[in-house]
Amino acid sequence: MSALTDTDLVTNIQNGQTEAEAALYEKYAAKVYYLALRESRLPHDAEDVRAETFLRVLQAIRGNNLRTPAALASFILGTTRNILHELFQRRKQTGKTKEPEAADLSTPSHEEQFLDSEVQHAIERTIVRLKPRERDLLRMHFYEELPTQEIARRAGIAPERVRLVKSRALKHFREFYWRLARATAPKRIDTQRR
């Protein structure tokens, strides 16, 4: 099922094949998660954005609201960006955060600069803990956006192993990141106890 084109996936989902829905998620879940993590900088927000993205994408496909199956990847990433925008808008209305574009218009506070650099530093420390092959594969997939065949060629592995290595690398990344986040989280002081 993973070898199906986007057009095949859309057709199969519209025909009620749940395996195609799982294959769609498997194909795009990591990319959506990392786009959401890069923008929101919070793993739980990235998880929420990913879940909402696939809910909306599947509704659009089932309702024949996708203009062309060939544009599926663009539609998924566009939906992710829209959901991120909605998230930031809701927070802006409640006074919890600024719109990302607005934040770039003014000089960020020292606290914001510190938090941004801390998040970036945590991600860098997490990436360093990955095996070199995992690091390289994630870079080729998410930053260079290379096709599977090219990643396999550069990594010196069979194309069918790329997905397995990528999956393991993402799992290790999440584990390292969560451990690091828990270890560096500030301790809460209970001011209610006397």
Please tell me the total count of domains within the chain.
2
CA distance 91 to 23: 33
Is residue 90 assigned to a domain? yes
* pLDDT (0 to 100) of residue 126: 74
* pLDDT (0 to 100) of residue 107: 40
* pLDDT (0 to 100) of residue 113: 44
Domain that holds residue 57: 6-102
Say yes or no: 88 and 128 in one domain: no
Is residue 108 assigned to a domain? no
Region of residue 95 (left: phi > 0; alpha: psi -120 to 50; beta: else): left
Max CA distance (Å), the chain: 64
Say yes or no: 84 and 165 in one domain: no
* pLDDT (0 to 100) of residue 8: 94
Query: Quick one: which H or E segment has residue 2?
Result: none
Say yes or no: 50 and 20 in one domain: yes
Q: Which parts of the chain have pLDDT scores under 50?
A: 98-116, 187-191, 194
CA distance 66 to 106: 38
Say yes or no: 120 and 161 in one domain: yes
Say yes or no: 142 and 69 in one domain: no
CA distance 52 to 71: 19
> For residue 166, which of 181, 146, 183 has the smallest C-alpha distance?
146
CA distance 151 to 163: 10
CATH number of the domain enclosing 22: 1.10.1740.10
| Whether 20 contacts 3, CB under 8 Å | no
* pLDDT (0 to 100) of residue 183: 67
Say yes or no: 58 and 124 in one domain: no
| Whether 54 contacts 25, CB under 8 Å | yes
Region of residue 157 (left: phi > 0; alpha: psi -120 to 50; beta: else): beta
